[in-house]
Chain A
Amino acid sequence: MDSKKPFSPLLARWRGLVQACAALLTNLHLPNFFKGELYRGAGKTVCVPGLNCYSCPGAAGACPIGAFQAVVGSSKFQFSYYITGILILLGVLLGRFICGFLCPFGWFQELLHKIPTKKLSTKRLKPLTYLKYVILVVMVFLLPVLVVNEAGLGNPFFCKYLCPQGVLEGAIPLSLTNAPIRAALGKLFSWKLCVLVTVVVLSVVFYRPFCKWICPLGAVYALFNRVSLLSMQVDHNKCISCGKCARVCGMDVDVCKTPNSTECIRCGKCVSACPTQAVRFRYGFDRGGAYSKLSQKTTIDERKGD
């Protein structure tokens, strides 16, 4: 993976294919889409890395956010160590690389963004990026734990009231093929369909609005971006400060200044855009973050000198 044969640009170039494969693998049980059934085998005891509804007919595993809420909302447990463990593991191994490469809902939004219309920048909406942490704490953790019925059972608030992926992958395909489920659709479905439509429309004009502002899973991985084994590395000896990387970034990150920003989804657009191949993916304990931090310091020093 070293600089002899540059791996980073290749990975960045084939990202679309990786996303497609990941979406397919995450939802491998394709015949279930026609049967209107769910796969409920052993695979469902494990979490998929991306935001992918458990109730998608094809889903091969459980959604980490859904599973977390189900456990903390149950009467027996207040906290889900198993799911938290999986999230920490994934966060440390990959961080928000999962958002950029493996998450089916991220891919869905990106495909929508390819529809040729006028595109709007989200730079001014930066404060909204903190909303996802609020959603993570309040809807995924606090409400399911605190709002309980007489048997001590909570509700998965995020899944129930907000998650558009559940409608897209669960409610819509299931209700098309399964009459009793169709009959059960009510106000909640209408509300969440509105959420989905809003996200779809916003995704056409903005780049990944759900990932930036809403996604609690993205929020978890974002917290791990700084310590993740996978990181971005900018070689400031090669960098010519052309600013192309910052301009091409859909997540409003300036990779030269903050290579491990919580918002960076490791999509590698900056890698492809860099004319001098100064930006690349870095994987491992050793130089990764330290190296870029070091070079970051030198640039700051250089700028001071300017």
Chain B
Amino acid sequence: MNLKKFLTLALAFTLVLSLAACGSKGDDKTDDTTDQTMTAEELNAKIQELADKENAIMEEDLELWQKLFAAMNEKRDELAQESNYGTYLLDGIELVKDQFTDDEIKTLTDGAEKIRDIEDEIQPLQEQYAALQPADDGNADTEGQAFPAFTGKDLDGNDVDSSLFSKNAVTVVNFWFSGCSPCVTELSELNALNEKLKQQGGAVIGINTDTLGGYADQISEAKGILEKKEATYQNIYFDSDSDAGKFASGIMAFPTTYVVDRSGNIVGEALLGGIDNEDNMATLQTIIDQVLASDSAK
């Protein structure tokens, strides 16, 4: 009988504790709002909103902007480093204006000026956001860490190594495996993202963990799935005993997506879940935008 009472008490206690544990997350948030003017999430949402505005400006005349980026890319060495992306664009327009008509230059300049103003708004927000980050979560384990080095091949047999990050301003690394239904579902979205990032100096890289170690049947299965989903971006594999292989085998939820900058460092936390989910895509886009902005500022 005493045992029963004890168990009842212990259980009630555990329940109370678990409820308290669930409640604490909410409490933290309210604390944040009183201490700070905006919580990290609000800041993030605001930054995202402004970034969306910038994107909207470009989307109005997407082809024209793409033409500009292509032209600027050729003269990238002549461009000075500029912390404001809008100013950077204005410099770029100035540099390549002979390739455009006056009307086009006017549209581009107007757009770039608007972007410059929006960037001026974003930058203090990003600083606040960055200041909040370390306090936000103690265990951001991969944030800022270098993506482990590797040498391997892509699924078509071409050699690749970790220097591939340096070719792009931003690289989205997606870990998946052939038997993972949500992973396969998002392949088409990842392919669309890759097409979009190409224009902005970025790329998507897929890593199918079944193929690590280079098993021929696993590779052909992965290729089959990619073909079915019409995903054409590069998928790579490396030795499962390598640092990157161990890193990959440490991933316990799929799909997991990382954003890596030009210097090969992971930016932001691992994103768990498919980007066919709007919230996940928004989170990923925010990180991509941050990396693109800081890369163009360099």
Residues of A bordering B, CB below 8 Å: 16, 36-38, 40, 70, 73-76, 111-112, 114-116, 149-151, 153-155, 172, 176-181, 183-184, 186
Q: How far is the CA of A40 from the CA of B279 in the complex (A)?
A: 29
Closest Cβ–Cβ distance, residue B5 to chain A (whole Å) = 9
B273 interface contact, C-beta 8 A: yes
Not counting A177-B139, A179-B269, a sample of 14 additional A-B residue pairs whose C-beta atoms are within 8 angstroms of each other reads A36-B139, A70-B179, A76-B179, A111-B7, A149-B181, A150-B184, A150-B228, A153-B184, A154-B181, A172-B18, A181-B272, A183-B269, A186-B277, A186-B279
The answer on a CB contact under 8 Å between A155 and B229 is: no
A196 to B18, CA, bound (A): 13
- B180:A179 contact, CB within 8 angstroms: no
Tell me the dominant secondary structure on chain A's binding face: loop
Q: Is the CB of B7 within 8 A of A16?
A: yes
Confirm or deny: B271 has a beta carbon within 8 angstroms of a beta carbon on chain A: yes
Q: Which residue of A lies closest to B140 (CB)?
A: A179
The residues of B that contact A184 with a CB separation of less than 8 Å are 253, 271-273, 280
Contact B229 A151 (CB under 8 A): yes
Contact (Cβ within 8 A) A151 B228: yes
27 CB < 8 A contacts A-B = A16-B3, A40-B252, A70-B179, A75-B178, A76-B179, A114-B4, A114-B8, A115-B12, A150-B184, A150-B228, A151-B184, A151-B229, A153-B179, A153-B180, A153-B184, A154-B181, A177-B139, A179-B269, A180-B256, A180-B269, A180-B271, A181-B272, A183-B271, A183-B272, A184-B253, A184-B273, A186-B279
| Option from B11, B180, B184, B229 in Cβ contact (under 8 Å) with A112 | B11
| A292 to B233 CA separation, bound complex (whole angstroms) | 67
Whether the Cβ atoms of A150 and B229 lie closer than 8 Å is yes
- Whether the Cβ atoms of B252 and A183 lie closer than 8 Å is no
Docked pose: A74 CA to B178 CA in angstroms = 9
Q: Is A149 a contact of B185 with CB atoms below 8 Å?
A: yes
Most-contacted residue by chain B among A38, A76, A115 (CB, 10 A): A115
Q: Is B283 an interface residue (CB 8 A)?
A: yes
Q: Which residues of A contact B140 (CB under 8 A)?
A: 179
CB pair B4 A153 closer than 8 Å: no
Closest chain-B Cβ to A239's Cβ sits at a distance in Å of: 27
Contacts of B7 in A (CB 8 A): 16, 111, 114
Expressed in whole angstroms, the Cα–Cα distance for A276 and B248 within the complex equals 62
Interface residues of B in 237-284 (CB under 8 A from A): 252-253, 256, 269-273, 277, 279-280, 283
Q: Give every chain A residue within 8 A of B256 (Cβ-Cβ).
A: 180
**In the bound complex, what is the Cα–Cα distance between A172 and B178 (angstroms)?**
27
A114–B7 Cα distance when bound, in Å, is 8
Is B62 an interface residue, CB under 8 A from the partner?
no
**For A111, what are the chain B residues with a Cβ–Cβ distance below 8 Å?**
7, 11
B285 to nearest A CB, angstroms?
A: 15
Q: Is the CB of A153 within 8 A of B3?
A: no
> Which listed residue, B8, B228, B283, touches A183 by the CB 8 Å rule?
B283
CB distance from B282 to the nearest CB of A (A): 12
B279:A115 contact, CB within 8 angstroms: no
* Bound CA–CA A37/B250 (angstroms): 9
Whether B225 is near chain A, meaning CB under 8 Å from some CB there, is yes
Q: Cβ of B252: which chain A residues have Cβ within 8 Å of it?
A: 37-38, 40
Checking B18, B179, B277, B283 against A75 with a beta-carbon cut-off of 8 angstroms, the contacting residue is: B179
Residue contact A73 to B181, C-beta cutoff 8 Å: yes
Interface check B103, CB cutoff 8 A: no
Instruction: Tell me, rounded to whole Å, the shortest Cβ–Cβ distance linking B80 to chain A.
Output: 37
Contacts of A112 in B (CB 8 A): 11
Q: Please report the C-alpha to C-alpha distance between residue A179 and residue B253 in the assembled complex, in whole angstroms.
A: 13
Cα A150 to Cα B227 in complex, Å, equals 11
Which of A155, A176, A180 is the most central at the interface, judged by chain B CB atoms within 10 Å of its CB?
Answer: A180
B21 contacts partner chain A, Cβ-Cβ < 8 Å = yes
B137 CB–A CB distance under 8 Å: yes
Residues from chain B with Cβ under 8 Å of A37 in the complex: 252
Distance, CA A150 to CA B271, complexed state (A): 24
A33 CA / B209 CA spacing, docked (Å):
25
- Are B225 and A151 in contact, CB atoms less than 8 angstroms apart? yes
Q: How far is the CB of B21 from chain A (nearest CB, A)?
A: 7
